[in-house]
Amino acid sequence: MNPVLHVTLLVLLDLGLLAGLLAIPLGLSGNFILLGLAVVVAIATKLQAIGWLALILMAVAVVAGEVVEALLGSLVARKYGASKWGMLGAFGGGLVGAALGTMILPVVGSILGSFLGAAAGAIGAELAAGKGREPGLRAGWGAFLGKVLATAFKTAIGLAIAVYLVVVTH
């Protein structure tokens, strides 16, 4: 392969990896971007740089990250005393908050909206269920922490994929 083309492809890969990693905390599909880049590298190298097993493991990790993200806010809210309604409020609030946050403040708004929406959803649901202000605030704090932990988990998965891709391609 032409050395200039090789370096150009590596730079493009690195930029794609950076974009994928930056997308994760913004609530975007960063890990799916990274998985897509892994598939492209696997195809381009005829499965020499990345084999089927590695691709399957990455896909399982990406899906696990999505499942953890969907559930962790609610589960940590439960750990902080949320009822089933508070857990549902945290889940729904996170989704609504992410959507509204994106409309109000593009890019960064999705993560802020997700975190704050999960907390507000848990608090609102607890108050609607007749709980007091204090239990509602505890549930909201738990939902907020859960979203932060889920984002950290997904970022760790993304970093692992990115590091693996750099190691096998550079």
Q: What is the per-residue pLDDT across 76-112, written as a single tens digit (0 to 9) for each?
A: 888 888 888 888 888 888 889 888 888 888 767 878 8
pTM for the full predicted model: 0.79
By the 8 A CB rule, do 34 and 13 touch?
no
pLDDT given for residue 85 in this prediction:
87
| Mean pLDDT of the region 29-57 | 92
Phi-psi region of 51 (alpha: psi -120 to 50; beta: other; left: phi over 0): beta
Residue 152's pLDDT band, with cuts at 50, 70 and 90, is very high
Count of CB atoms within 10 A of residue 122's CB? Answer: 39
Give which of 18, 8, 6, 27 is closest to 148, Cα–Cα: 27
Residue 116's pLDDT band, with cuts at 50, 70 and 90, is confident
Sign for the CA dihedral angle at 94, 99, 100, 106 comes to positive
How far does the chain reach from its first CA to its final CA, in angstroms?
14
CA 153 to chain centre: 8
pLDDT given for residue 2 in this prediction:
82
pLDDT given for residue 58 in this prediction:
97
Most confident of the ranges 17-21, 66-70, 79-83, 101-105 = 17-21
Residue 156's pLDDT band, with cuts at 50, 70 and 90, is very high
Most confident of the ranges 30-39, 119-128, 134-143 = 30-39
Per-residue pLDDT reduced to its tens digit, 122-136: 889 888 988 888 888
